[in-house]
Structure 1
Amino acid sequence: MSGLSAPTGPYAVVCARTAREPVPLAGERFDSREDAERAADMADEYHSALRRYDPEAPRHHLIVRDAAGPPAPRSNADSDVRLRYVAFCHDVSGAVFEALSETGFRAAESAAMETYLTLAEVVEDRDDFCLAMLWSAMNELDIGLDAADQRTVVDAAAELFGGTTRGATRPAPTVGSALERTLARLDEASFLDGYDVAACAGGDAWEATFADYALAERTGRLPTLPIAVDLVRRLPDRPVAFTEATPLADRRWRLRVEAVDLSDSNADDPAGLVSLDAADEGRLNETDYRL
């Protein structure tokens, strides 16, 4: 795909039904209609491969359009809650699997797919296939890669997920505003239900509180990968770390996000971008904590 795209090309590939640019074409531009059509064919093959593992993977009717022109017609499907949820899961999963391949972590990619295929045999709800795929990728990243390698994969997945944003002329968002937009996107996709973001005293840290998180576990771990992929996409030049996850009542979590200064030679690689151990694990077993 990278051999066909051009940063300032006049053509883009979108889904005719939703007018969105699906992974792995999000943000890609092409110098000619022919290159865009070839990329669309490759993306169709990619999505067909996904459907071999998950029959619920979205089907995209891909078309080429002028990147500077009006968006393609939208359909009522865009307002379908289930479609947004499934599409979000698959877009994140697809970006992560593609990133594992691009960054050379083939063993983790294979292990994640093996884990997913095992889980798929016992999944009963069809909407859980996409969540199982996302969880499988998260789990193998968590157990198989260190913080530096996790950051490499998350950075690559972030660019694939939403297109490259480096060099944009509009003002860069603050960490706090980017975090709010990320949680709003997850809320829109029904991946969580309700959220709040508050700046911490002292600056360079924020606390996000959210409920009914789709990947919540009782294992003492909060999977953060989908939040990280979307947030890093919005902050390509502002590294962040997830430093604390605390379970609260009523299926809520509090997540602490901190800006990281990598110019400091003593700074560690951003951590928590895949998962975090719960700060109060015992809270998960209390009667008012429900999944």
Structure 2
Amino acid sequence: MVGGTLRDIRAEIQSLSCPDGDYEVVCGRSGIAPSAVAGLAFPDRLAAGEAADLAGTYRATLRRYDPSIPFDDPLVHEVSPTPIPPLATTPEDKHTRYTLFCHDIAGAVFESLSALGHREVESAAMETYLTLAEVVGDESDFCLTMVWSLMSEMDVRLSVAEQTAIVEHTAELFAPVRTPNPVGATLRLLESVGFLEGYSVRPVPTGEREDVNDDRDRTTGERDEPGVERGGDERRCWELTFGEYALAERTGRIPTLPIAIDLLRRVRSQSVQFVEGEALSDSRWRLCLETCQTGSSDGLVSVEVAENRWLNDTGLSLHQD
């Protein structure tokens, strides 16, 4: 299965790395490390070169199922505190970032399904993807189809506890990122790769949590600064709004998988619970989430969407009465 193959490649890359290495691998086109080598350092150029080749093999494994996956052009550099500038910028760069983001998510989820013994879900997701790929008209949509297939089969075949374990394991495969505003940082990343467009983040006092439906900020142009996560066991609540979500669907649930994976790598010591979702128009959505130092995560694959006219009528917008 593809998950086992990807796991073996990642393990070989990690065996070449060391905590205080002087060399790293980055993509020459984007200046960003391919996901399989992100956050890793290597003791010498030889080891880093082998890791670069393996990073290419990781992508090639997924490319067997999606020929549209771009080539990373992994290069060896000495570790530097400043980012490596990209070698070239083209109009296709944003779509390249979108495609690679989707496949980073999909590849890591396949690895986690394999690692935690859910081979039947892994197999079902790949079968669903291959079936849908035959009818998807544009190859550039294959990457999203793969993510959707994984999300769909996990939703149907796994319990909430199993879903949580898979998503948490997947998040651990990505290099950790510390930021004072992790919720906002996650949405900025998704916007930068074209997975959503235009967002706002509003911290909601826990006492107002039950009234959030009646106290929404319906503006779409402003980006409120998210609150700063605090220590202790304090529960923090957030209201997210965003538009043009790539995985938006009108089945009564909204997929949260990509958001959850990226957020969990930023708040690894906390639980994350996606509580509810709502369609605000034919292209704009609201999600509520909570973070806490204790407790279990929940809603990491999808959450139920509140029933309203916008969910059932794609012709309506916020500006229609």
TM-score after normalising by structure 1: 0.87
CA contact (8 A) 1:220 1:281 kept: no
Where 1:31 maps in the other structure, the secondary structure is coil
Which sits farther off after the overlay, 69-78 or 2-11? 69-78
**Superposition deviation, residue 34 in structure 1:** 2.5
Alpha-carbon separation, structure 2, partners of 1:218 and 1:91:
25
Tell me, yes or no, if structure 1 residue 194 matches structure 2 residue 198.
Answer: yes
Tell me, yes or no, if structure 1 residue 275 matches structure 2 residue 307.
Answer: no
Q: 1:169: which partner in 2?
A: none
Q: Structure 2: which 5+ residue stretches go unaligned?
A: 1-10, 207-234
Tell me, yes or no, if structure 1 residue 31 matches structure 2 residue 40.
Answer: no
User: In the alignment, which of 246, 249, 256 is matched to residue 214 of structure 1?
Assistant: 246
Rate the CA distance shift 1:233–1:146 in 2: closer, same or farther, 3 A. same
AA paired with 2:302?
A: S
AA paired with 1:270?
A: S
CA contact (8 A) 2:282 2:311 kept: no
Where 2:40 maps in the other structure, the secondary structure is coil
Tell me, yes or no, if structure 1 residue 65 matches structure 2 residue 69.
Answer: no
**Superposition deviation, residue 243 in structure 1:** 0.6
Q: 2:168: which partner in 1?
A: 155
Where 1:132 maps in the other structure, the secondary structure is helix
Q: 1:12: which partner in 2?
A: 24
Alpha-carbon separation, structure 1, partners of 2:91 and 2:16:
29
Rate the CA distance shift 1:78–1:31 in 2: closer, same or farther, 3 A. farther
Rate the CA distance shift 1:281–1:138 in 2: closer, same or farther, 3 A. farther
**Superposition deviation, residue 289 in structure 1:** 5.7
Q: 1:44: which partner in 2?
A: 56
Runs of 4+ in 1 over 3 A off after TM superposition: 69-73
CA contact (8 A) 1:24 1:94 kept: no
Rate the CA distance shift 1:246–1:125 in 2: closer, same or farther, 3 A. same
Which sits farther off after the overlay, 15-24 or 92-101? 92-101
Q: What percentage of residue pairs aligned between the two structures are identical?
A: 46
CA contact (8 A) 1:147 1:270 kept: no
Where 2:195 maps in the other structure, the secondary structure is coil
CA contact (8 A) 1:25 1:160 kept: no
Alpha-carbon separation, structure 2, partners of 1:205 and 1:55:
41
Alpha-carbon separation, structure 1, partners of 2:138 and 2:308:
28
Pairing 1:134-173 to 2, within 5 Å after superposition: 134-161=147-174, 163-165=175-177, 173=179
**Superposition deviation, residue 14 in structure 1:** 1.1
Pairing 1:83-98 to 2, within 5 Å after superposition: 83-98=96-111
Alpha-carbon separation, structure 1, partners of 2:204 and 2:23:
43
Rate the CA distance shift 1:10–1:78 in 2: closer, same or farther, 3 A. farther
Q: 1:288: which partner in 2?
A: 316
Deviations 1:11-49 (A, max 9, x none): 211111111111211112222333222222222222111
Rate the CA distance shift 1:228–1:30 in 2: closer, same or farther, 3 A. same
Q: RMSD between aligned alpha carbons? A: 2.2
Alpha-carbon separation, structure 2, partners of 1:37 and 1:173:
30
Where 1:198 maps in the other structure, the secondary structure is strand
Larger Rg belongs to: 2
Alpha-carbon separation, structure 2, partners of 1:281 and 1:106:
37
Which sits farther off after the overlay, 36-45 or 222-231? 36-45
Q: 1:242: which partner in 2?
A: 274
Deviations 1:56-92 (A, max 9, x none): 1121111221123654441204873222222221222
Alpha-carbon separation, structure 1, partners of 2:117 and 2:196:
32
Tell me, yes or no, if structure 1 residue 252 matches structure 2 residue 284.
Answer: yes
User: In the alignment, which of 19, 43, 53 is matched to residue 65 of structure 2?
Assistant: 53
Where 2:201 maps in the other structure, the secondary structure is strand
Aligned length: 276
Alpha-carbon separation, structure 2, partners of 1:107 and 1:151:
17
AA paired with 2:289?
A: V
Alpha-carbon separation, structure 2, partners of 1:42 and 1:140:
29
Q: Structure 1: which 5+ residue stretches go unaligned?
A: 166-171
TM-score after normalising by structure 2: 0.79
AA paired with 1:207?
A: E
Alpha-carbon separation, structure 2, partners of 1:17 and 1:40:
14
CA contact (8 A) 1:18 1:77 kept: no
Q: 1:168: which partner in 2?
A: none
User: In the alignment, which of 89, 109, 114 is matched to residue 122 of structure 2?
Assistant: 109
**Superposition deviation, residue 103 in structure 1:** 3.3
